[in-house]
Chains A and B, each alone.
Chain A
Amino acid sequence: MSAAPGAEGEGLVFLGKATAVISHSIKNVMATVSETAGLIGDLVALAERDPRRIDLKELGVLGETIVEEIQRGFQVVQLLNKLAHSGDQPVADVDVEEVVTVVSGLGRCLAYCSGITRLPSAGERPRIRTQPLLLQDLLYRALDAAFRAVGPDGEIKVGVERGADGVCVALQGLPAGFRGIFESPGVELLKQALCARIALDKDAGVLRLVLPESLDEARA
């Protein structure tokens, strides 16, 4: 089973955007490693001229910074790997929590949407049969719209729960003026391709993306 042609195009655009965000993040890691290593070199050069000026504690902290930045870079590369493989199969059994983790990780690469808090799930991690790439795209658009509404210092809480009509990804903490993500033609395409329902509870400030347990059955 494949998605509607328009939706597949949306998925491709999403992968391109995600790759750009991730390459930006990797370049930032490399810039930090480069500058920190350069600083260690500067401090060593100073100490060679005057050994009293060597500060071993500072050198230790800078070494630790490099290790932590390399770990950050490794996590970003893992994220890229997961995103790249999400297009391997058009429809697959998907751990929804895992999708939220990947998209939250992508969001954290962006300066303006770093305040994502995950809400713990009750019970078993929900799995559904869906199109992983398109689900990531839809969730990314929802998070992007949410952070454009709350601002870079805002916080959006994301939770996953199983309900009577499928699995729900809920974004909490939206401001009163939030208008949803309904206006984009791309969102409509994704919604149709995923047989998803999007509901905005303005009073509670919650956006819900409700996904069927099985896309094959929902389309039948």
Chain B
Amino acid sequence: MGDESNRSILIVDDERRFTAALAKRLELRGFSCCMAFDGLSALAFLEKRPFDAVLLDLRLPDVHGMQVLSRALAARPGLRVIIMTAHGDERDRRVCLRLGARAFLRKPVALADLLALLEGDAGGGG
């Protein structure tokens, strides 16, 4: 398992067990992970500290993931946001990419695909 020099990832998903397992898998590969289980907590995290990437679900208990995406990118232009959802259709994918998401993955997500996106380039701007 590789060393990603503690690149920091914020995982935003209300499925707590999924989020915890994914965070642990990424940490074993050298990433540093924070978890938020709703949209407002995610935005609060983003205000407090920079992240290299955000993994964002669309269906959240409080605000829709697309709103989180817009507000996160307005606050931190260039932030690498990857959508991971069990719900999104083709229209959601197009809207999210237009709003500035780097990728749109459907759950269950293959870790190799996610790692390829996270390791693609070091940019982030968060």
Contacts and interface: CB of A to CB of B under 8 A. Distances in A.
**Chain A partners chain B:** yes
Contacts of A69: 17
Given A27-B108, A111-B14, A35 B38 contact: no
A28 B25 contact: no
Interface string A14-51: 00000010001101101110111011001001100000
Nearest to B29: A42
Interface residues of B, number: 22
If over half of A's interface residues share one DSSP class (helix, strand or loop), that class is named, otherwise mixed; here it is helix
A219 to B, nearest CB: 39
Nearest to A41: B25
Interface in A89-114: 110-112, 114
Interface string B6-36: 0000000011011001101100100000000
Contacts of A27: 86-87, 106-108
Contacts of A31: 15, 18, 86, 107-109
Given A24-B87, A38-B111, A46-B28, A32 B61 contact: no
B46 interface: no
Contacts of A114: 61
A32 B28 contact: no
Interface in B64-114: 86-87, 106-109, 111
A20 B59 CA distance: 13
A13 to B, nearest CB: 17
A20 to B, nearest CB: 8
Contact of A112 (B62, B108, B111): B62
B43 interface: no
A85 B42 CA distance: 40
Contact of A65 (B17, B38, B60, B107): B17
B1 interface: yes
B61 A35 contact: no
B61 A28 contact: no
A39 B20 CA distance: 10
B15 A152 contact: no
A67 to B, nearest CB: 12
Interface of B: 1, 14-15, 17-18, 21-22, 24-25, 28, 38, 59-62, 86-87, 106-109, 111
Given A24-B59, A24-B86, A38-B111, 13 more contacts: A24-B87, A27-B86, A28-B18, A32-B15, A35-B22, A36-B17, A36-B21, A45-B1, A46-B28, A62-B21, A111-B14, A111-B61, A151-B62
26 contacts: A24-B86, A25-B86, A27-B87, A27-B106, A27-B108, A28-B107, A30-B108, A31-B108, A32-B15, A32-B18, A32-B21, A35-B18, A36-B17, A36-B21, A38-B21, A38-B25, A38-B111, A42-B1, A42-B25, A42-B28, A45-B1, A46-B1, A46-B28, A111-B14, A111-B60, A152-B62
Give the top 10 A-B pairs by smallest Cβ distance, nearest first. Answer: A27-B86, A152-B61, A31-B107, A35-B21, A111-B61, A34-B108, A32-B18, A31-B108, A24-B87, A36-B21
